[in-house]
Amino acid sequence: MKITNICCIGAGYVGGPTMAIIAQKCPDIKVTVVDLNEDRIAKWNDTDVNNIPIYEPGLSEVVAEARGRNLFFSTEVDKAIDEAQMIFISVNTPTKTYGSGKGMAADLKYIELCARQIARVSKQDKIVVEKSTLPVRTASAIKNILHNTGNGVQFQILSNPEFLAEGTAVEDLLAPDRVLIGGDTTEEGQSAIKSLVDVYSRWVPSERILTTNVWSSELSKLTANAFLAQRVSSINAMSELCEKTGADVSEVAKAIGMDSRIGSKFLKASVGFGGSCFQKDILNLVYIAKTYGLNEVADYWEQVIIMNDHQKRRFSKNIVATLYNTVADKKITFLGWAFKKDTNDTRESAAIYVADDLVFEQAKIAVYDPKVSHKQMLSDLNYLETRTKEENDKFVSSFEDPYEACKEAHAIAVLTEWDEFNEYDWQRIYDSMLKPAFVFDGRNLLDGKKLQAIGFHYQEIGS
């Protein structure tokens, strides 16, 4: 089937950028991104493309090129489903907060709602593509819903997991390491796979497009994120040992990273990994392993999460201990709130949990992040439900000027590796702070020797 009309349900961090690139590279294909969130769709349609809801370098330019030509954003979900030949499901799959599997399993209620809506609306055969991160064998559940509640329409289910990294999403989509497509081994399933391969092959080399069965594709996504998160937790575990023994974790990371069998990526010690995928996918993997009675496998992967949580707590405890065991009424400036640079995504950001710990100690948190709003910061803290919204609002403030954020602070904590932090006039910052002035570098980003020469008491993870 030659695809000329695509619908994507979900206008978030995956659906929006992915569909924008497909529209840019395939101008003959109509691409419609739908979402029930009217405010989000309105932002995607804003006449000023710099105001789109997701910040990714290069994304606004892609949207500007394709929007109105063959890229559309709409709240008319039924209409888009009815017209499309291929439907991507890219809705949220958070970790369950209730019932069986609470705290580990993926909550699939939004996936099921999408499947039922597709079944209700569809009048012609369609290809349905899983784009959200899902547990193994979710495609089977989607297939059952579509075939048993539909209108006699034939559906083919494909798994096409995303491997995007926030901050480099456009680059990852334009030149991916691989595109993975899983489908049935039947003739119809292979035909559906080919239809999606033909879309991606418009700009992705054929050798980078991998086809598998559905189950292998679904599990590959969880496994990839688990392996990457494992590397982060491994080097963070070594950073604590380095602090006790006098070793330099940066030197250790460089030494082992030069081993071609290991490589250097994801070996930078930090305050911990964040983002929407790593923790959620590992917990999902743990739940799957426990479901099959593989308790040793579950324990192994769960330790990656335990180490990551420990690293965040260790960082906040170090701040308190260094500041004479009390931070009550002390201003502590956070440079960065997003979980990594070049994104406004704050999901599972280490900054949230470090701030939560320090507010418990009654510290006054002043935050500067170039892309994250004060409203989002408070929303992140309120989501934890560890105190009232009024208390969070009392102890956490944000600034549009980093120098104002640092003024009269007792300490600065670097929580995101924004490049601009390296360009600041740190002498000016030091002069504006209360003395002694401390910098806690949770991202090993700044030049500690220069800061110490100015007069800062500088500490980094693994120092």
Active site residue 277: yes
Phi/psi-derived region of residue 42, left when phi > 0, alpha when psi is between -120 and 50, beta in every other case:
alpha
Phi, psi (rounded to 5 degrees) for 57: -55, 125
Q: Which residues contact 458 (CB under 8 A, 6 or more apart)?
A: 438, 439, 441, 446, 448, 451, 452
Q: What is the pLDDT of residue 106?
A: 67
- The answer to whether the CB of 413 falls within 8 A of the CB of 438 is no
Regions in the chain scoring below 50 on pLDDT: none
What's the CA gap between 53 and 46, in Å, rounded?
9
Q: What is the pLDDT of residue 288?
A: 87
Q: What is the pLDDT of residues 140-170, one digit of tens each?
A: 778 878 877 667 889 999 999 988 888 999 9
What's the CA gap between 146 and 309, in Å, rounded?
40
- The answer to whether the CB of 127 falls within 8 A of the CB of 236 is no
What's the CA gap between 412 and 400, in Å, rounded?
16
Instruction: Considering the candidates 7, 8, 96, 162, report the single residue annotated as catalytic.
Output: 162
Active site residue 406: no
Q: What is the pLDDT of residue 94?
A: 67
Instruction: Considering the candidates 30, 96, 126, 221, report the single residue annotated as catalytic.
Output: 221
Q: What is the pLDDT of residue 144?
A: 79
Active site residue 162: yes
Q: What is the pLDDT of residue 218?
A: 82
Q: What is the pLDDT of residue 28?
A: 97
pTM for this entry? 0.86
Instruction: Considering the candidates 7, 8, 26, 277, report the single residue annotated as catalytic.
Output: 277
Q: What is the pLDDT of residue 142?
A: 81
- The answer to whether the CB of 342 falls within 8 A of the CB of 328 is no
What's the CA gap between 14 and 11, in Å, rounded?
7
